[in-house]
A and B are shown apart, each in its own frame.
Chain A
């Protein structure tokens, strides 16, 4: 019997029992819709969460100087990195979003008769805020011109405001950092504590040239570290490779030499993140999978009923020349047709449901921008899944039908 005839007969058989077919299909619809919705929402959640993690700095790579060896004593912090290295990394590595030199210092900041020792006092480059994914609350950031001219300007974090200024607007006020006067040109937005609990807002940022020359008084033209951000967490590995290649070249490091720098990334955090979201999606999919299983059992149940009911029909078909495999195919296609119709409706419903869920989340939690993810491959996989549910749960009843004895089947009342 041709495939076309078989499908036609299957459809006709299903139409004879419309109510039953519809109820069976609903089982599959629920399963497939649940899978589609959960996979889609799961992917949205995972994108949202990785976006949040990037804000925490999971896409940041640190380039640190190599070690010094003085009389057998080794320590890190050799003067090997320069601001020019940082510029080159920012310019020549495609996977790098931005790069900034870091020159650290410590000391006291004084305004009027108040003083404070900030946790972090750093000289940085003009792209530092891009690297840290940080924004300004007010004012501006220092430019490359300020950096070139060793300008005495600074940008302060939120923690400093109550300590030093109380109710005064800090912008354009002059503070003294280790007795060097600096003008406050910008205020950072609140960032809160980092992952180990340090207050990230207890910070003063200055041009790295000014810190090096006017505060640290260093005769060397080197920086303590270079902070780099990759374009996304996914591109961390690529960015690290590119930085290493570029730095080997710039620092003339041969294949056998020991590098005078090292690159540290935070991929461990990114990997953890991947595990978290992956586990979450897997768990939800397993729950959705169970409802698909229930739908499949529904198909099997109905097909078994149908085979029993139509025993006589099977006998007639066999008597006039249907082979076992013709009968098998007829019932199998019937269950696949059921599951595929259910699958198609389920995907449509699931897509609608995930769109609705996305809209609800975005409406009730202002500020979140939950992305709507409808992936075509996921829909195709769901469809394939539906068809295989039909084959899997339809096979046993179909096989039972094909193994019937024609005489017994004809005698069946």
Chain B
């Protein structure tokens, strides 16, 4: 059984007069321990696919099995629990809580869901900050940290509940190339050494090249799904109007 099984997933936004088909049909599997990059032009549906995979959004049609469980029919609370336990999110704009220390930001996922004693919560968060190399900055607020450091806090927060999947939505989009490389390196480490499944949405070819598998979307459909980045790049740059 695959970790993620999408079967004819569609997402239609009903804007009254027009219907926008963000995802026309997607049928895909992702196995445990994979490192997948989702690429495509803006409007290709990659963010919608990401939100669907992240249980933030519900498809209007089809089936999404996560670890064998059907997500489409779950209610809000059940999906919140899945996000808390099984998924970790890293965003382009970091999305840390302002005026809240790095440590408390990392502790946050442990406050929701199963009750954990405050001391254990703190210890686990500290350990996680240590792993991303920020143990000495635990009491700093996001505004006192550089972009790369903030993103590492966000990664620590995403991983503190030991999820099976780490999701990144343009995780290097707000970083300079040096810190981007550091973050990419961190993703690769997590994937290779801890077998965490990583799924990223990205514009950045360097990030996509680093992934082991690349899925290319165009107009709400998968047009390429390959382990060879050059094929993916070709598919991305292919223009049906010129053909």
Contact = CB atoms under 8 A, between A and B. Distances in A.
Interface of A: 1-2, 5, 12, 16, 312-313, 315-326, 406-407, 410
Given A5-B111, A316-B97, A321-B83, 13 more contacts: A2-B111, A312-B95, A313-B97, A315-B95, A316-B96, A319-B54, A320-B89, A320-B109, A321-B81, A322-B112, A324-B80, A325-B77, A407-B56
B157 interface: yes
Best-buried of B83, B98, B158 by chain A (most CB within 10 Å): B83
A315 B57 CA distance: 13
Interface string B97-109: 1111000000011
Interface residues of B, number: 28
Interface string B212-229: 000000000000000000
A324 B77 contact: yes
Interface of A is mostly: helix
Interface string B117-138: 0000000000000000000000
A410 B112 contact: no
Contacts of A1: 111-112
B29 interface: no
A318 B95 contact: no
A321 B51 contact: no
A62 B205 CA distance: 105
A312 B208 CA distance: 28
Contact of B56 (A5, A12, A322, A406): A406
A2 B108 contact: no
Contacts of B57: 407
Interface string B49-67: 0010010110000000000
A202 B80 CA distance: 88
25 contacts: A1-B111, A2-B111, A16-B99, A312-B95, A313-B98, A316-B97, A319-B54, A319-B83, A319-B95, A320-B109, A321-B80, A321-B83, A321-B85, A321-B113, A321-B161, A322-B80, A323-B76, A323-B112, A324-B76, A324-B77, A406-B56, A407-B51, A407-B56, A410-B56, A410-B91
Contacts of A317: 108, 112
Best-buried of B56, B76, B97, B111 by chain A (most CB within 10 Å): B111
A410 B51 CA distance: 11
A16 B100 CA distance: 10
Interface string B148-161: 00000000011001
A296 to B, nearest CB: 28
B99 to A, nearest CB: 6
